[in-house]
Amino acid sequence: MHKPPTWKIAAALAIVYIVWGSTYLAIRIGVETIPPFLMSGVRQATAGLLLYAWLRWRGVPRPQRAHWRSATIIGALMLLIGNGGVAWAERVVPSGLTALLIATMPMWMVLLDWLWHDAVRPTARVVVGLAFGFVGAGLLVAPGQFAGGAHVDRLGAVVLLVATVGWAIGSLYSRRAKLPASALFGAAMEMVAGGALLLVASALLGEWRGLTWRTVSARSWFATAYLTVFGSMLAYSAYMWLMKVTTPARASTNAFVNPVVAVVLGWWLADEPITPRIILAALIIVVAVVLIIWHRPPPPAEIA
């Protein structure tokens, strides 16, 4: 394959860094007046249907029934549990802290891949990275005023942990699942299936009860539209393109850049505090992720 110009790679990296880093704040704004599972369902289903229709129009073959079964399982794990859990937790956990906790994703990927699929035993560097990651995550959720700042909402932290593990399990399953040859088409199917499951969960949880669209703020509508177009379509497409034209190590740098972007944007635009605890935890988690993913296969796309 002909190597693309450096400026195109830089532009794609900038999209992944900034857009995916900004989705955490957009989710927080979206759930201000839209119930979390409803907002996530509308976002994913809309993005998936648009992308699915466009790819079919471009001539991508119709998927098989087995493809839909795999896409539904992945959508349930990564979008219903993963993305839906993040949206729910952001009602009580600041967007920057959410991004830092989600940044521990490579830890779970390494551990689960090793335990379940007989992957290569983690090297000493990866073990050190795992230890750093757990320390950083523990520092964020530790109670009291240690290192400055109040504690993170415990239930929100537990939901984020479940969301992160669900996303990791779904990602590992997707590597062996029967899916279309086009990775982008498979992603569209997963968004359609996951979005439908999110909407069903929203109805079962009673999120639609008493909801009137007049009570939804313009901020929340804009945030949902931003997440649909930029978060679920543009940034993911840029990431998939980078995976084909550059090294996995370079493409996967989003795993430790996105949380930094999210923390800064949360502080700048939403008055989320940056305490000594957050700064210390961010540094520890970033170092952990670098140790784990450098020269390894890239982690999955961000939950946001």
Burial class (CB in 10 A: 0-12, 13-18, 19+), 20: buried
Q: Is residue 60 part of a domain?
A: yes
Q: Which of 20-34, 62-76, 174-188 has the lowest mean pLDDT?
A: 174-188
How far apart are the C-alpha atoms of 144 and 185, rounded to whole Å?
Answer: 47
For residue 266, is it within any domain?
yes
Within-domain flag for 48: yes
Residue written as token pair 């279309």: 180
Domain region containing 285 = 6-293
Which residues, at least 6 apart from 91, have a Cβ–Cβ distance to it below 8 Å?
A: 31, 36, 156
**Chain centroid offset of residue 161 CA:** 13
Q: Is 20 among the domain residues?
A: yes
Compute the average pLDDT of residues 36-40.
96
Residue 3's pLDDT band (cuts 50, 70, 90) = confident
Return the sign of the alpha-carbon dihedral for residues 154, 156, 157, 162: positive
Question: Which of the two residues, 210 and 118, has the higher pLDDT score?
Answer: 210
Q: What is the DSSP letter of 151?
A: P
Residue 237 is assigned to a structural domain of this protein: yes
Predicted pLDDT of residue 247:
62
For residue 302, is it within any domain? no
pLDDT in tens, 261-270: 888 898 898 8
Within-domain flag for 245? yes
Q: Which two tokens stand for residue 120?
A: 């290569």
**The pLDDT of residue 147:** 41
Q: Is 298 a domain residue? A: no
Please check the confidence at residue 280 and state whether its pLDDT lies above 70.
Answer: yes
| Number of independent structural domains in the chain | 1
pLDDT at 8 over 50: yes
In the block, which residue shows the tokens 């794990």? 77
Q: Which two tokens stand for residue 20?
A: 């995916």
Predicted pLDDT at 234: 87
pLDDT band for position 230 (cuts 50, 70, 90)? very high
Q: Kindly state the average pLDDT of the residues 159-186.
A: 88
Half-sphere exposure of 243 (CA within 13 A, CB side): 15
